[in-house]
Amino acid sequence: MTPDQRRPYIAGNWKMFKTAGQAREYAQKLLARLPMGNGVELAICPPFTALAATLEGLGGSEVKVLAQNMHQDAEGAYTGEVSAPMLVELGVHGTLLGHSERRQYFNETDRALQDKVPAALEAGLEPMLCVGETEEEREAGETQRKLRHQVQEALERVPEERLADVVIAYEPIWAIGTGHVATPEMAQDAIGFIRALVGDRSKDAADRVRVLYGGSVKPGNAAEILAQPDIDGALVGGASLDPDGLAEIVKAAAALVK
C-alpha cells in the first residue's frame, strides 16, 4: 500500500452555490491555474443546474464532474429527485452520496445509501460516500461505532470486486464549515479505521480504496493532512468556491506525489 498505487484525489463540493453562468466562469479560471500533469485527480461537485455548464467549461480537461446526490431508482414518481441514468446522459462522472448535510437536513439514511452506492456503480458512476461522527459522538467515544455502522451498511450490497471503485470521504460533522479542522492524527486514525473496515471485506480493496478527509480543508492546512499515510486526498467545501483556493490545494497534493 503506497501512495503511488492510490492516485491523490481532491474534490470540491460547491454545495448550493453558483449558477450555470458562474460555473462556466469558474471552469475557465480553474483550468488556467492548475499545474499541468500534476498527477492529482480532481473533481468538482456543482449543483444539478450547473452540471452541464461545468462539464462544458471543463471540456477537454481531465477534471471530473460529480453530482451532489442521486436517487437509487432509475426512474419513478419521486418529485424533485434525479437518477443515475439522467446523470450519465449528461456526461457526469460520479456523485457524492450521504453528505452529512443531506443526512442532517434531508433525512438521507444508511438504508437508502445501501441502495444508492451499488446503483451508482452499476450505472457507471463513481460513488463518493461521505461518513463521519458528530461532536457529541466523538466526545462520548462513539466515533468508531458510528463509522463502522455507516461504512458497513453503505457497502453491504457492493460486490467485493467493486469495493475499491467506491471513494470514501471521512468528514467529521463538527469540522464541516466550522473552521475546526481535525488534527492530522485524528484524521489519520479515523481513516486508518475506515480502511480496516474495508479490509474486513477484502484486503486487496483496502489497499486500493481511496479515503479522503473533509472538514475545513484550506490551502494553509491541506499539506499536513494530505501527508498522512492513509489519507488519499480531500473533499473541500468552502475553500473550493474560489478557483485559486482549489488550485492551491491541488498543488499541495501534487507536491506530495513527487
Residues that bind ligand PEP (CB under 6 A): 13, 15, 171, 176-177, 214-217, 235-239
C-beta of 85: minimal distance to ligand PEP in Å? 25
Nearer to ligand PEP, 206 or 217 (CB): 217
Closest among 101, 187, 97 to 150, alpha carbons compared: 97
User: Is 184 within 8 Å of 223 (Cβ atoms)?
Assistant: no
Single out the residue of 243, 235, 254 nearest to residue 45, CA to CA: 235
Would you give the distance in Å from CA 67 to the centre of its chain? 10
- Grid coordinates representing 211? 479515503
- The DSSP code sequence of 54-93 is HHHHTTTSS-EEEES--BSSSS-S-TT--BHHHHHHHT--
CB of 258 to ligand PEP, least distance (A): 25
Q: Which is nearer to ligand PEP, 184 or 199 (CB)?
A: 184
- Which residues are part of the catalytic machinery? 99, 171
Is the separation of the CB atoms in 10 and 233 below 8 Å?
yes
Closest CB to ligand PEP among residues 120, 236: 236
H helices, E strands: number in the chain: 11, 8
88 versus 223: smaller Cβ distance to ligand PEP: 223
The nearest distance, CB 215 to ligand PEP, in angstroms, is 5
Instruction: Work out how close the CB of 44 gets to ligand PEP at its nearest, in angstroms, rounded to a whole number.
Output: 13
CA contacts within 13 A on the Cβ side of 53: 16
